[in-house]
Chain A
Amino acid sequence: MNAVTPVTSSQPIPLLQPDPLITIEKLQVRFGDVAAIDGLSLIVRRGEFISLLGPSGCGKSTLLRAIAGLVPSAGGDIILRDAGLRTGFMFQKPLLLPWRTALGNVVLPVEIQNGGSVVDSTDDYRARRMLDMVQLGDFADAYPQQLSGGMQQRVALARALMGDPDVLLLDEPFGALDELTRDVLNEELVRIWQSRETHLKTVIMVTHSIPEAVTLSDRVIVLTARPARLIEDVPIRCPRPRTPEDPDAISVMKHIRMMVRASR
């Protein structure tokens, strides 16, 4: 059992300087009498890919929603580094509007920001670029019903990127897809995160898959079941690009699995 020297926590992390983008302090979220999150603190640094990992119903989605302002906090603070910080949110379901084409769906955030339906040619061009980025350049005029589940979720990703977010909040974005499709989309997500075409630097993703969290993230935040508390903050130092088969990745997965088991 102790063969696992945490490849992780004992060593210093040279790459990530503390550059807090979002600071969460003793956050509390309650649904009626039930505490979903009870005094959780977390610092999200600029440029990080973070995974929030935990069993279903543990409050990890609630944490993400609190960051997005979808659920009110009952105590504590969520401090954004600057007020103009743009967040993009992606849900587990694609939530595309069936009466709009793929392009029409991608352009929606800009329409709403502009306060009308007028979309100029720059926006149109950018929306097409976003569709290219998620490999759907040829499907701009397709309606969501004509696209597969994976393609629909790609459109949703393009839409989330259209608002030019600094932080992308992903709530089990590919959880409803089959494993093969999910692997492909995860790889593309990392590629988009690393590319310089968007302002996107920071990603916070909710997942309940340990391999997914480890292959994608710079840091995995392991949470307990409700109310959500931090078990451990695990930096992942394996070089990219990664696969779930990398020996280093496997030992980190083992480590996390053991911690989760021990916390029960």
Chain B
Amino acid sequence: MKSHVQSPLLFGVLLLAAWQAFVMAAHVPEYLLPAPSVIFANIDRALFVQLGVTFAEALAGFLIASVLAFVSAILFVRFRALEEGLFPIAIAVKTTPIVAVAPLLVIWLGTGWWSKIVAVVLISFFPVLVNAVKGLKAADAEYRELFQTLGASRAQEFRKLRIPYCLPYLFSALKISSSLAVVGAIVGEFVGATQGLGYLIIVSSAHLETATLFAAIAAAALAGIAMFYVIGWLEKRLVFWHQGEGE
């Protein structure tokens, strides 16, 4: 259990030490590659405020997207016509890069929270939708026959069979979309924002404040990792019965 954490941590520290040594020995200018010590010195309260903004946008969008996608998946599986009509459209929208749409969102929704939240929803909706549809259909025909012999209604079949059966699929999608959510929030901030990590990245790169830039990048990574682990923790509680696969 412990070595699980220990060895990556050890290598991480070694890597940082090598980086520090290299920058000091080769006298690399700070605007190109700041030393880890300089980057750490740039971690302040302001950074955490920006991180909080981005994290809140990502989380809100992620929750909205997950609920919307799961409900849509249930409707798709319940009503074939909906799936046949809307799934191709969903795929078409999915292939549109979020970077291309973000400026439009800012025009429509302004530079506040909503343009970012909608960007997050757009980017994290599809992985959940696709996997949830797959998971809701994954229960073997034999299980459905069992429910048929027990006289189960369609609603009971969903509640007691299809939805629990779908959970492993849902969680592997949630892990993907939680990382994407942070990407969506930052892209939204790139295009037009007054706060957040994306805003900080744009501003500090324009001023060649590379150490701040690195600190912002690290914070963005941290936000993604935090979401990923919270979901992994939830998964362990809820899908305790499922072994292997799903990762």
Contact between chains at B149 and A97 (CB < 8 Å):
no
CA distance A99 to B160 in the complex (A): 10
Q: Which of the 9-residue segments B61-69, B96-104, B140-148, B217-225 touches chain A?
A: B140-148
How far is the CB of A108 from the nearest CB of chain B, in Å? 7
- Which bracket fits the contact residues of A? 20 to 34
CA distance A109 to B148 in the complex (A): 11
* B152 close to chain A: CB less than 8 A: yes
* B242 close to chain A: CB less than 8 A: yes
Contacts of B240 in A (CB 8 A): 99
CA distance A108 to B160 in the complex (A): 9
Near B by CB (< 8 A), chain A positions 75-91 give: 87-89, 91
How far is the CB of A161 from the nearest CB of chain B, in Å? 13
Main secondary structure of the interface of B (DSSP, over half): helix
Residue of B nearest to A144 (CB): B241
Contacts of A93 in B (CB 8 A): 142
How far is the CB of B24 from the nearest CB of chain A, in Å? 55
CA distance A163 to B149 in the complex (A): 11
Contact between chains at A89 and B146 (CB < 8 Å):
yes
Contact between chains at B149 and A68 (CB < 8 Å):
yes
Contact between chains at B241 and A163 (CB < 8 Å):
no
Residue of A nearest to B147 (CB): A112
Contacts of B153 in A (CB 8 A): 115
CA distance A112 to B150 in the complex (A): 7
Say whether, besides A97-B161, A98-B242, A112 and B146 are in contact (CB < 8 Å): no
Contacts of A9 in B (CB 8 A): none
Say whether, besides A70-B145, A87-B149, A145 and B243 are in contact (CB < 8 Å): yes
* B156 close to chain A: CB less than 8 A: yes
Number of residue pairs A-B, CB distance < 8 angstroms: 44
* A263 close to chain B: CB less than 8 A: no
How far is the CB of B240 from the nearest CB of chain A, in Å? 8
* B52 close to chain A: CB less than 8 A: no
Among B146, B148, B151, B152, chain A packs the most CB atoms within 10 A around the CB of B146
Contacts of A97 in B (CB 8 A): 160-161, 164
CA distance A111 to B153 in the complex (A): 12
* A143 close to chain B: CB less than 8 A: yes
* A113 close to chain B: CB less than 8 A: yes
Contact between chains at A99 and B164 (CB < 8 Å):
yes
- Return the CB mask of B150-189 against A: 1 if under 8 Å, else 0: 1111001000110010000000000000000000000000
Contact between chains at B241 and A143 (CB < 8 Å):
yes
Contact between chains at A95 and B146 (CB < 8 Å):
yes
- Return the CB mask of A104-116 against B: 1 if under 8 Å, else 0: 0000110111010
Contacts of B164 in A (CB 8 A): 97, 99
CA distance A145 to B239 in the complex (A): 13
Contacts of B152 in A (CB 8 A): 112
CA distance A200 to B243 in the complex (A): 37
Near B by CB (< 8 A), chain A positions 154-187 give: 163
Contacts of A99 in B (CB 8 A): 164, 240-241
CA distance A72 to B122 in the complex (A): 44
CA distance A152 to B47 in the complex (A): 55
Contacts of B142 in A (CB 8 A): 91, 93, 95
Known: A95-B140, A99-B241, A109-B150. 8 other contacts (CB 8 A): A69-B148, A69-B149, A70-B148, A88-B149, A97-B161, A97-B164, A98-B242, A99-B240
Interface residues of A (CB under 8 A from B): 68-70, 87-89, 91, 93, 95, 97-99, 108-109, 111-113, 115, 143, 145, 163
5 closest A-B pairs by CB: A89-B149, A98-B241, A99-B241, A112-B152, A112-B150
7 residue pairs of the A-B complex, CB under 8 angstroms, read A91-B145, A91-B146, A95-B146, A98-B241, A108-B160, A111-B160, A112-B156
